[in-house]
Structure 1
Amino acid sequence: MKQQGMVIPHEHGGWAMVIVPFTMGMMTGNPQWMHLFLFLAWFFLYMSSYSFLQMMKKNANRHRFMKWGSIYSSIAILSLIPPLVSYPPIFFFGPLLLVFVSVNIWHVKHKIERALINNLCAIIIFSLGGAAAYLLGGGGWDRTMAMIVIYNVIYFMGTVFFVKSVFRERKNKRWIVYAQIYHVLSVLIPMVLGNPWMMIGYVFPLVRSFALAGKQIKPTKVGIIEIVGAIQFLLLAVILNI
C-alpha cells in the first residue's frame, strides 16, 4: 500500500462482520433494492470508523486517516439518506451505535483496544447492522430481530476467543480452556433459546477450537478458516430461517 493510498481495513474478521449479520438480517426479512443503499452506508461507516480509530491510535499519517475517514463518512451519509427517507425508524439505531462506538473510542484512547469488552461492543455494533437490515425488509422490533443480534454476537465472540488462542494467548493454557468452554456453551445456547437447529451453525467453530487452539498457525490459514466458518454460519442461518 502506498503511503498516501486509500485506507483499507485488512482484518478478515472485520469484513465478515460487515457482511454476515447484514446479509442474515436482509434474508430473514424481505430483500429489496433499498438494502443496496443501506449496505453502502453500512460499508462506508465501517471504513470511516476504521480510519478515524486508526488516526487516534497512530501518530504518523494522521492527515491521511482523517482525509479518508472524511471521504468515507460523506459517502456513508449520502447512501443513508434514501433508506432513512424510505423507513425513518432506522434512525433509532443511531443512538445505540453511538453508545457502543464511544466504548471503542475510550478503549483506543487508553490503548487497551484488545480488551474483551471492547471486542464485544464492536461485535454488537456489527450485529445491529443485521437488525437494521431486517427492519428495512419488513421486520419488526421482535424476537426475530433479537435472535439475529444474539446469534451473531455469540458466533463472532467465538472467533475472538479462537483467534486469541492461536496468536497472543497461544501458550496460555487457561485461555485455551476458556475458549473451548465458550464454544461448548455456544452450541447449547440455541437450544435454550428454542431454536435447536441453529446449534449446527456453531459445530464448525467448536471443532475448530478443540482441533487448533494453542497451535501455531499462519495468519493466512487462520483467515481462510474464519472465512469458511463465517460462510457456513450465514448459509445455515438463512436455510434454517432463524
Structure 2
Amino acid sequence: MTTVPAHRRPVAGPAGRTTAGATGHAPGRGRSPGWMPPQHGAWAMLLLPVLAALAVTGPHPLHLPLLGAALAAYPLSYFGLQAVKTGRFRRVRPQLVGYGLATVALAVPVLVARPATLAYAPLYAALAAVNAGHARRRRDRAFVNDLAFVLQCGLLGLVVATVAEVPWTRVVGVTVVALGYLVGTVLYVKTMIRERDSVRYRWASWAYHAVAALAAVLWASVPVAVVFALLLARAVLLAGRRVAPVRVGLVETACALLVLAAVAL
C-alpha cells in the first residue's frame, strides 16, 4: 500500500495532518531523515476506515497482521516517495529495507490465508502510481494526490471485510461514510492552512460539505446525518480563520472520533 508524499507541512487533519496527503518537509541535506513520518494525522486517517469496517465485521485474528502491514506500509511509502522526489534512495535505504521487510512479513500470512485480497492489488498499484507521479513532478500538494491517499485508506475497509470472509458489500456503507469525511477534511484543512486565502477552495469545501450533509440526511442513519451537519458547520464557520495548526488537528481528531462513533451505532 502506498500513502502520501514525503515532504509537506507538519500538523493538521485528523490527529495533526495538514491535509490528507500532506506531509512534513523533507529533511534538510545535513539532517537524518529519521524513522517516523512527521505527520501524526496520517495514522488516524489509516485507522478510521479499518475501525469503521471492524464495527460491521467484528474482529478476526488475521486483522492483526493486516493492520500491522498497513501501518508498516505507510512509512515505507513515505520514505519511498521522498526518494522518488529527491532521487536520493541511498539516504533512506535503511528505512526502505526495514519497513519493506516488516510489510512483507506481516502481509504474507494474510495473502496466503486470504488470496482473495490480491484482487485489491491493481487498485493500490494505480493509486501508488498517482502518488509517485506527483512526487516525481514535485506536485505532491495537489488535491488529486491527496485524494489518492484517501482512497487507499478507504480501500482498507473493504480489505478488512475480505479478510473476515464477510461480503465486501456489507461494509460499503461505513466505508463511504469514512471516505466522505476524509475527502471533506482534505478540503477543510486546506482552507485553514495552505489555502486559507483561497476563495476557490473555500467554496469547494462549503459545496462539498453541503452535498455530503444532504446525502447523509437522505441515505444515512440519524447519527451520521447529525455528524455531517456538524462537519458542515465547522467548514463554514471556521474556514479562513487564523487557528494554530495543532488546534486544527485537535478539532479533526474529535471529528474523526465522532464519525467512528456514528457508524458504530
Same fold (TM over 0.5): yes
Alpha-carbon RMSD: 2.0
Q: 1:210 to 1:194 in 2, by over 3 A?
A: closer
Alpha-carbon distance in structure 2 between the residues aligned to 1:159 and 1:109: 25
Compute the displacement of 1:4 (Å): 3.5
Q: Structure 2: which 5+ residue stretches go unaligned?
A: 1-26
1:218 to 244, 257, 261: 244
Cα offsets for 1:94-124 (capped at 9, x unmatched): 1110011101111111111121211111100
Normalized per residue, the structure richer in helix is: 1
Map of 1:11 onto structure 2: 39
Map of 1:39 onto structure 2: 67
Alpha-carbon distance in structure 1 between the residues aligned to 2:193 and 2:85: 21
Alpha-carbon distance in structure 2 between the residues aligned to 1:66 and 1:204: 44
Alpha-carbon distance in structure 1 between the residues aligned to 2:38 and 2:176: 25
1:121 to 138, 141, 148: 148
Q: Answer with 114-123 or 6-15: which moved more.
A: 6-15
Q: 1:102 to 1:148 in 2, by over 3 A?
A: farther
TM-score by length of 1: 0.89
Q: 1:64 to 1:226 in 2, by over 3 A?
A: farther
Decide whether the 8 Å contact of 1:201 with 1:237 is kept in 2.
no
Alpha-carbon distance in structure 1 between the residues aligned to 2:47 and 2:73: 13
**SS state of the match for residue 215, structure 1?**
coil
Which contiguous aligned blocks of 4+ residues in structure 1 show a shift greater than 3 angstroms? Answer: 1-6, 191-197
* 1:68 is the counterpart of 2:95: yes
Q: 1:118 to 1:36 in 2, by over 3 A?
A: same
Decide whether the 8 Å contact of 2:150 with 2:179 is kept in 1.
yes
The answer to which structure, 1 or 2, has the higher relative contact order (CA under 8 A, 6+ apart) is: 2
Compute the displacement of 1:86 (Å): 2.1
Compute the displacement of 1:45 (Å): 0.8
Decide whether the 8 Å contact of 1:164 with 1:170 is kept in 2.
yes
Decide whether the 8 Å contact of 1:55 with 1:66 is kept in 2.
no
Over the matched positions of the two proteins, sequence identity in percent amounts to 25
* 1:235 is the counterpart of 2:261: yes
Alpha-carbon distance in structure 2 between the residues aligned to 1:79 and 1:198: 34
Task: Summarize the alignment of residues 55-204 of structure 1 with structure 2, pairs less than 5 Å apart.
Answer: 55-58=83-86, 62-142=89-169, 144-193=170-219, 195=221, 197-204=223-230
Compute the displacement of 1:129 (Å): 0.9
Cα offsets for 1:157-204 (capped at 9, x unmatched): 111111110112111223212211211111112344454542223233
Alpha-carbon distance in structure 1 between the residues aligned to 2:92 and 2:232: 38
**Number of matched residues?**
237
